[in-house]
Structure 1
């Protein structure tokens, strides 16, 4: 999908921000808070359906027949005029991690649980869903510029991000460690990764966790883990399955998907994506533009009518369901409200 022309009618106040300061802030944000696996989807055609050992039959074809919702006039009325004017909800996603957001078997159509949830939100707000695939590194600046109105791509909430964005929570946020089948690893903390070779996405939250764990190991006089970086999911998993790495850390839904659809990998650990604190996955919108509360209300409507639960069940992610969506911003971050 071709990038859209930036909407100059939106958020002109960004022009007042010094470019160097803005880029520096965003660079720190990415280093602190990535929760997505930014590698590209595995190359090559994929089967249209995949039957998994967890009982889920994953539809990976471009014909998704997504669960749809009716427009709720009361919710639609809450959409800010600048967002509502063109009748679209422009959503960014990275399309790099099954079953979250990835390319279908045609190798070009973005699909996954993130986009199914975005579809429910757009429907309830009376907007057409306009999906834009972007890289993990680019979505912050493009959301700031107004190219994207919301990001649905396994984004976690944290202290760095709330300075720039508002959030509407919709899923639990965990990272998983995976290894070759037959491995005896049991990863619960820093001591368990000493000396191991671990693949990780650059600039992600999982990298932040491993760096912190390595500091703990070095303080104890133990060998740190060796972090290894690959350009795609395909290269990462090939390195793991061939024994060039001992572990891979990635979003928990992705590692459990592979455990359930492959014969050679298994999950050997789980950690909250906000370690040492906790965090949630959330729709991400520009700070202060008024869209987050409308998305939160749409998510809660989907939770209440059961469509949200059906979407998570479709992708084998029912365990990550939240009982309620909340708007999180800089003012209430960390307060539990």
Structure 2
């Protein structure tokens, strides 16, 4: 039996309404930076989390997670690219609603922002193929040149290691700081440094993609929780993002995204 045009239109309308209801399962925050959009501050160039692929398309685990979070609120995702060293100031200046850029949950950061943790991260060192300097950890970097991205945790860990070298009467590591993590990696690839410090996730990605160029030097270290950062006092935004993230975990989307980007071992409890 054929449906009448009016009934068919009504059925389609109900389907569309149901789809919208499913997509917008969480009420969005009232104080968005831009109406209708969920805006994240991030630095790109950190695969497999947030980076431009060979076709210059923005992709990665965090990109897909951010898109899904916005979808659960019936919003469009928007990205504000910011140098990592300036990412918290950009959030505080209300250039975005939250940070989604492998920001480690540290006590000093919790003094100015609230966190919603979504994965674990660790630190790692990359060396040229064959690891000619026999680097197994931070303690082996005395007198060597090491590249890092500005404002990163590995930079602060190297600063602490240099204090230990100095106390022991050993030559300090020559820490070469670059504006972006991608620039620090390029320095290793072009032979400007002996090692490159970054997160395990990025190190593993490039070892998998370019194992003929790089080796992972030693075991990963400094495992830490990683989270979205939101300005203090914005309970509405924290609540909405937490509910959206919880729904992503509960329906299995979270693990599917992690496993797609080979990050299943970094799942948060």
Q: TM (normalized to structure 1)?
A: 0.67
State whether residues 200 and 229 of structure 1, in contact with CA within 8 Å, keep that contact through their aligned partners in structure 2: yes
Structure in which a larger fraction of residues adopt strand = 2
Is 1:138–2:86 an aligned residue pair?
yes
Change (3 A) 1:80 1:239: closer
Is 1:171–2:123 an aligned residue pair?
no
- Using the TM superposition, give the Cα deviation of residue 176 of structure 1 relative to its aligned residue in structure 2, in angstroms: 1.2
- Using the TM superposition, give the Cα deviation of residue 208 of structure 1 relative to its aligned residue in structure 2, in angstroms: 0.2
Distance in 2 between the 1:110 and 1:134 partners?
A: 14
- Using the TM superposition, give the Cα deviation of residue 298 of structure 1 relative to its aligned residue in structure 2, in angstroms: 1.8
Where does residue 231 of structure 2 map in the other structure? 286
Superposed CA RMSD: 2.3
Distance in 2 between the 1:194 and 1:89 partners?
A: 45
Structure in which a larger fraction of residues adopt helix = 2
Larger Rg: 2
Q: Structure 1 regions of 5+ residues with no counterpart?
A: 1-68, 324-337
Is 1:71–2:19 an aligned residue pair?
no
Distance in 1 between the 2:192 and 2:85 partners?
A: 27
- Using the TM superposition, give the Cα deviation of residue 204 of structure 1 relative to its aligned residue in structure 2, in angstroms: 1.6
Where does residue 5 of structure 2 map in the other structure? none
SS in 1 for 2:208: helix
Change (3 A) 1:70 1:194: farther
Change (3 A) 1:114 1:212: same
- Using the TM superposition, give the Cα deviation of residue 270 of structure 1 relative to its aligned residue in structure 2, in angstroms: 4.3
- Using the TM superposition, give the Cα deviation of residue 254 of structure 1 relative to its aligned residue in structure 2, in angstroms: 1.1
Distance in 1 between the 2:179 and 2:32 partners?
A: 35
Is 1:211–2:177 an aligned residue pair?
no
State whether residues 124 and 203 of structure 2, in contact with CA within 8 Å, keep that contact through their aligned partners in structure 1: yes
- Using the TM superposition, give the Cα deviation of residue 271 of structure 1 relative to its aligned residue in structure 2, in angstroms: 4.4
Size of the aligned set, in residue pairs, is: 246
State whether residues 83 and 180 of structure 2, in contact with CA within 8 Å, keep that contact through their aligned partners in structure 1: no
Mapping for residues 297-336 of structure 1, pairs under 5 Å = 297-323=243-269
Where does residue 240 of structure 1 map in the other structure? 188
- Using the TM superposition, give the Cα deviation of residue 223 of structure 1 relative to its aligned residue in structure 2, in angstroms: 2.0
| Deviation per residue, 1:147-193 (Å, 9 max, x gap) | 200111111111221121111000102111011121163534x4222
Where does residue 92 of structure 1 map in the other structure? 41
Mapping for residues 35-184 of structure 1, pairs under 5 Å = 70-71=22-23, 73=25, 75-76=26-27, 79-83=28-32, 86-107=35-56, 109-183=57-131
Distance in 2 between the 1:176 and 1:227 partners?
A: 15
State whether residues 41 and 99 of structure 2, in contact with CA within 8 Å, keep that contact through their aligned partners in structure 1: yes
- Using the TM superposition, give the Cα deviation of residue 312 of structure 1 relative to its aligned residue in structure 2, in angstroms: 1.3
Q: Structure 2 regions of 5+ residues with no counterpart?
A: 1-20
SS in 1 for 2:234: coil
Distance in 2 between the 1:97 and 1:318 partners?
A: 17
| Deviation per residue, 1:67-118 (Å, 9 max, x gap) | xx94353x32xx43223982221112111222221123343x4322111111
